[in-house]
Amino acid sequence: MFAFDAQQALGFLVAQTSQIEAQAYEIQYPDIQYPSLVPVDTSANPWAKSVTFFSTDKLGQAAWHNALAKDVPLADVERNRSEQPVELAAIGYRYTTEELGQAMMIPGLNLSADRAAAAVRAYEEFMDGVALRGVPPSGVSKGWTGLINDANVFAGNVANDGAGASTLWSAKTPDQILRDINGLLGGVYTGSLTVEMADTLLLPVTQFDYIATTARTATSDVTILEHLRRNNTYTAITGAPLTIRAVRGLETAGAGSSARMVGYRRDPQVVKLHLPMPHRFQAPWQSGALAFDVPGIFRTGGVEIRRPKAFRYGDGI
């Protein structure tokens, strides 16, 4: 007859957690967007109460100067200090005494990593929402904004010269769509007095699909997207490829819940996601008469856009 007590069940679970957690963290989730869109900064102390950061703007312009003059033009950097609290969040998983007992009956049997993987997946979805909009899927807001809705970033509607005076790309010609995009990218360059250049373009999924499947001209076998990759403001100036991504959440991110495109420079000097403590599982414990929990915790300070002029939003597309 096989018998066990709670201490044996807990010991068995503790022995299993290392392989369970390794499997859970090895899984890649291709539909999780934020790691490829925002540089992630894990350098702060895991238990830091807040993160201090500065948004900056460069000031000053060189000018001709007489050797005997005393009023030398001066450059400066305008810095605005912000303090962002770091908040704790949690997601773990559970096994019942019955499940552990059944697993212990068969020597060499390992517990499934499915629940741990589900916890890691929930963490990634939470961080996706925080990084993009400042609000996780749970909808509980800390008053944060994210990559696609920061109030300090310039936002403007694209031209309303489509069919019926519409701003929508579905009502515009390919030339007008390309003009809207290059106007956004060029706006970052000129709006920052040629200091910043947007190397990344984010589009709503529907608009991305539209330019990826619509021909550049009636007689062309090249799509608007293919033409854009070769002919855009960033590539023309730098010779480097422009990163173009379809991103969920942009469909209603613009003014009046309109579709928004985002142009920005993806660089930690410009934007970063503070994640002092990435998700980690804690030691298992007996949480009830017939339940054993493995808590998981993480701490984040959300997205910091340090140089808003390296960003630009285009709405109404």
Burial class (CB in 10 A: 0-12, 13-18, 19+), 143: exposed
CATH code, domain carrying 174: 3.30.2320
pLDDT at 314: 98
Task: Please state the separation of Cα 215 from the chain's center in Å.
Answer: 30
Among residues 158, 177, 199, the alpha carbon closest in space to that of 315 is found at 158
122 in a structural domain: no
pLDDT at 113: 92
pLDDT at 292: 96
- Domain tally for the chain? 1
Show the domain range for 174.
155-270+308-315
249 in a structural domain: yes
Which distant-in-sequence residues (6+ apart) come within 8 Å of 268 by Cβ?
Answer: 39, 41
195 in a structural domain: yes
- Token couple for 309: 């002029």
pLDDT at 72: 85
Q: Judge whether 313 and 153 are in contact, CB under 8 Å.
A: yes
State the Cα–Cα distance between residues 97 and 84, nearest whole angstrom: 42
- Token couple for 70: 């005393």
Q: Judge whether 274 and 86 are in contact, CB under 8 Å.
A: yes
183 in a structural domain: yes
Amino acid present at 286: Q
pLDDT at 26: 93
Residues facing residue 55 across a β-bridge:
80
What Cα–Cα distance (Å) separates residue 258 from each residue in 139, 165, 186, 206, 246?
20, 16, 22, 12, 16
Helices (H), the chain: 6-26, 34-37, 97-104, 114-133, 174-191, 205-213, 224-230, 233-238
Which distant-in-sequence residues (6+ apart) come within 8 Å of 149 by Cβ?
Answer: 133, 134, 253
229 in a structural domain: yes
256 in a structural domain: yes
Among residues 121, 120, 125, 130, the alpha carbon closest in space to that of 38 is found at 130
pLDDT at 73: 82
Amino acid present at 284: P
164 in a structural domain: yes
Averages of pLDDT over runs of 10 residues in the chain (317 residues) are 75 93 92 96 94 68 79 76 89 94 82 94 97 90 94 97 97 98 96 93 98 94 96 94 97 97 97 97 94 97 94 98
